[in-house]
Structure 1
Amino acid sequence: MHTKLKLSTLCIAFIAASANAQETSPGPAYDSWLGIYAAKYNSDTEKASPAGVYDGGIEKGVEYGFRMDNKWGGRFEYSSLNLDYRESSGQGDESGQMFGADALYFPANGDTFLFAGLRRQHLQDHFTLGDVGVGRHWRMSDNLRFVTEAGLFHDFSNNTNDFRVKAGFAFTFGSGSSAPVVGDADNDGVNDNLDECPGTPAGAPVDSRGCELDSDNDGVTDQFDQCPNTPPNTRVDETGCPLKVVGDADNDGVKDDRDQCADTPTNDKVDADGCTIFTEKEVTHTLRVLFANNSSVIQDPDSQDIKDFVKFIKRYGKTSVTIEGHASAPGEADYNMMLSEKRANAFKEMLITRYDIDESRLQSKGFGETQLLDTSNTAEAHKKNRRIYIRVTETVKRRATK
């Protein structure tokens, strides 16, 4: 009931609006038309009659239409309707008639129109429908139009929706009561009927099509182009000036200003950050550095083990590193804790200053004598326990090559 009421109200309001519309200039290209048409009519899968459920069919008909002004019109249709059945009690098809009346709206006095109205179908049952749709009168000559149209029909009786595609010919009569008035809405010197770029900003120079000039064809119109006469195929910014050229030092396809992994190997495939693409794989590197008794001095900062570790964390530039400092058992626990922290901080400072590792990737922590590797009270055990320890693990992707 609500659907029926809403669609009925819409159709009545549409027709009333067309009847009260005020005529504006320019007038329509023709006053009325007489048409013939054929249509493919598709019934809703739930539309039923006493003989079964309807399928699609063919519609043939005639129409009479008229223009009330340059935007509004109306029409009446009569057609014969032949529908097949999806399911039936033995009946192959059914023939009937359909009557209709529509209000038509022609935007901008064009050939395309919108329509809404009411229909009455006389088949084995009688059905009342509301319809909406869109169509076009394609001009073939002064008095002949080719008509195409698509419409949706809501059946109030069954609360179902049918669909129709229509084609035909319309023979037109008369002409508009006033001659077309061609304006220049954007005041660019090109009449609206020839203006391919309506709404041009005031004062902007335009070409014969009414479009803003872009003398150097860089995509920025002359009005805003701060660098006229840019060479062809030069990339420019929003001011029309050439973009600053950013290099790609490692030739990985990612510009240096976005490359987070410089010096990527030549054959590596890289992601949007310029870093090597890997299939999922866990990579791990450990480092243990020993210290002299009661010392936080790194005895050999250029050892191969340290260089290999630095190479690893530079290779995997998104890993974070925790440096663990440890002490042996002899001495006070508080002193050993302080000494272990000094050892961890000393190694951290060396990575930053000597090997140019970003400080934000590094953390240091002292554990004192709480994590002894060897608990025996021997000189060898004490030597082993005076250490820093680092273990870096990252789930990355297996290296992919170009």
Structure 2
Amino acid sequence: MNIKNHRTLLLLAASITLAGCQTTEIVPPKTTPQYENIRTMQAEIDSDGDGVLDDIDECPETPPNVVVDAKGCPIEVDVGGLEMEFNGFFPPMSSQLPDIYDAVFVKVAESLNDYPKANVFIFGHVATNEINKGSLARNRALMVKNTLVFQHNIDAKRIRTYECSNKILVTDTAFIDPSFEKLNLKNIEAKQRRATLKASSSVKDLSNLKYAGDIESYGEYAKHCELFE
């Protein structure tokens, strides 16, 4: 009787011991996945809406509808270029442009504002029968420049002025210009009393003309005219 009871007690003790050795599975807190989700959402914020996440965006305040690169910085998009020419004619021995050009300057300024990186070249000319050719040619070029700068707020750094004196003469049919007709100018000498404005998105320096079209358009000016401002 005593032996049986002793065996029973031993079996019970062994059962308790084995039960104590079993591995208990630890259930992670329910808040862990929630925290991870919040952290992931924060890392994927794109504050300026340019398609580049904030954590790699080097230009975090890009305006809307602007094309950006992989770093989130704006990309300059080529939307075409500007090639423009304007001729203004002066009275004899004068550097004052007639009032009929006021409306023309408005249009010229609008075009230059549309293409803010286009360069402006202004060439002053004189007729062979005018005196003080160098200074008169310069004053005519400066008149056009100052009108653009002071009346139409065109940046002076974009403009280069040249003195051509009477080295680039035009023939009787060289200009078909409405303003020339409005001024009732008819003779060849009158066509030399002018300032020529050229604006270009591609030409930056007359001493380094690379393309055939630029050489055709600017070659004579580069050869005969002197940069003075």
Q: Larger % of strand: which?
A: 1
Q: Larger % of helix: which?
A: 2
Could you state the TM-score of these two structures normalised by the residue count of structure 2?
A: 0.49
Could you state the TM-score of these two structures normalised by the residue count of structure 1?
A: 0.30
